[in-house]
Amino acid sequence: MKENQEGLRKVRRALLSVSDKTGIVELAEKLRGFDVEIISTGGTSRALREAGIEVRDISAVTDFPEMMDGRVKTLHPRIHGGLLALRDNEEHLAAMREYNIEPIDMVVVNLYPFEETVEREGVMLEEAIEQIDIGGPSMIRSAAKNFRDVAVVVSPSLYRSIVAEMEIYQGALSFMTRMRLALHAFAITSSYDGRIFKYLSKTATEMGQRKREEEAEEFRLFVGGAGGAMAGGIKIPLLNNLQTPPAIAQLRVRKKRDLRYGENPHQLAALYDAGEGGGIAQAELLGGKEMSYNNYVDAEAAWQLVSDFDELTCAIIKHTNPAGVGTGAAAEEAYRRALETDPVSAFGGIVAFNRKVDERAARAVAEIFTEVVIAPDYEDAALEVLRAKKNLRVLRVSDEPRAAEGLEYRQISGGMLVQTRDTHRLKPDELKVVTRRQPTSEEMGALLFAWTVAKHTKSNAIVYARAGQTVGVGAGQMSRVDSVRIGAMRAQIPVQGSVLASDAFFPFRDGIDEAARHGITAIIQPGGSVRDAEAIAAADEHNLAMVFTGIRHFKH
């Protein structure tokens, strides 16, 4: 057999250095059966020797001991020269002879368990840093770069197929196999570096926030003192309240599964895991058919909405917009209130709860055709009811609190748009009453409810509501006054006596005049228009209470 046949390269020397030792002894035994010399490091070397396998220590190759708690052991010219040297390049071969560098034909490496470490509760930064592998990725990259001559194996799942091919080719591997192994290796190192970047970025943000809070408190005490007077001197605190997206936005995802198709049957699609834990991407499918692309998009909108409420809440979503939202003392009550808003649009919708679903709520959901139901958990009897509906997808989603930090991505031609997540939650003391009439306590509760729903409704967003229940929703219109009209037109519950939320300011008074015509009593909106005075005057003319939030919630 010639070594250049099909690009074959015989493996004569292999370096084994693994954190996950699954299958490594069996692989080493097979390699020795092909008369492959094995070089190894630290714990891997000990495990192989204990299994009776002949091993050459890395220090015997480099003439240097492993040092600095194992931080330095493979970072040596005799290792990387043996990996990077081109076997048909005479200059490379001469350098190898001169400096006593032996070729290494295979590297079997898997990396320190950084990701598993940082996912543990209470892990400290110092411990995480020690799990940042240096030598492993360096060897992987050297071997993968020189895949013409070297095979790089980065996962125990590959061992069996590697051995099978070596049995076919009498201890050799083909060019295409080495190339595929290199591609897989680069994917692993890229993902590994991305996880480190993500963890350190999150840690730096948290540390920076704590530092800013400490400095802000120090500055407050310095300037104000106990009596509010300057204590003396001049101090420039190291405050940095300006938060900006990073210079390089890293988006690392792993494919979980292919989907049947995308938004339309002619589009390909797949579900990817962003490694954040929890959320719709990690939801358990407890019943029904596999989720579609559109199911996932709508399910995300539904889950985000109900997660923004502390009270027991149910949302019914259609094409990412709320068809109805309700709160209640029990899940069935919340669902009935959401359904009452627009029972026609609820047909074929997505239903989400932010509490465990009981049997009564499950039977209510099962009364009409529903695509997906989402909840943090289900009673056994509820699952039995829901699973009886063959076309109903039943998702269980972790209700662990989501981190406030994070970025959202949207692709555009030639690039990406990146923004921080809209995690703002309005507090009653942030509201400013701008009309002569103050809202009643009941109106205030309804306004805050409507405002939260408007945050999750496509702009231009108008939400009519009463306490704990949507009345009508106007979403995604080109004109705000049209959203006001459509929200009232679609209402199945009397609009008279409800309140209105607008996700952005009213550019003209016509929207307020139109809303008043339908009998609303109060309005919540951001304010900030050059015509705010006209809007306030209109509200006063109609004896409406109006409050400004000072913040808007555009959703495109």
DSSP string, 110-163: E---HHHHHTSTT--HHHHHHT--SHHHHHHHHHHHTTTT-EEE--GGGHHHHH
Residues 208 and 203: their CA atoms lie apart, in Å, by 8
Strand partners, 325: 315
Q: Which of 21, 92, 202, 319 is catalytic?
A: 319
Residues of the chain with CATH 3.40.140.20: 278-396, 428-548
* Active site (annotated) includes residue 319: yes
Within 10 angstroms of residue 272's Cβ, the number of other Cβ atoms is 13
Would you state the pLDDT for residue 490?
A: 93
Could you say which DSSP state residue 228 is in? Answer: T
Question: How far, rounded to the nearest angstrom, does the alpha carbon of residue 431 sit from its chain's CA centroid?
Answer: 32
Within 10 angstroms of residue 155's Cβ, the number of other Cβ atoms is 17
Our CA angle for 400, 405, 408, nearest 5°, is 100
Would you state the pLDDT for residue 221?
A: 55
- What's the fold here for domain 428-548? Cytidine Deaminase; domain 2 (3.40.140)
Would you state the pLDDT for residue 404?
A: 45
Q: Which of 92, 145, 289, 389 is catalytic?
A: 145
Q: What is the DSSP string of 532-543?
A: HHHHHHHHHHTT
- By 3-state DSSP, what share of the chain in percent is helix, strand and coil, each rounded to 5? 40, 20, 40
Residues of the chain with CATH 3.40.50.1380: 5-197
Architecture of domain 278-396: 3-Layer(aba) Sandwich (3.40)
Would you state the pLDDT for residue 112?
A: 81
Residue ranges in the chain modelled with pLDDT below 50: 1-4, 219, 222-242, 403-404
Q: Tell me which CATH code domain 5-197 carries.
A: 3.40.50.1380
Would you state the pLDDT for residue 52?
A: 94
Would you state the pLDDT for residue 503?
A: 96
Residues 336 and 101: their CA atoms lie apart, in Å, by 76
- Inter-residue contact 13 to 104 (CB < 8 Å): yes
Phi/psi at 177 (5° precision) = -65, -45
User: Quick one: CA dihedral 370, 488, 464, 554, positive or negative?
Assistant: positive
SS (H, E, C) 197-211: HHHHHHHHHHHHHHH
Pairing state between β 522-525 and 499-502: parallel
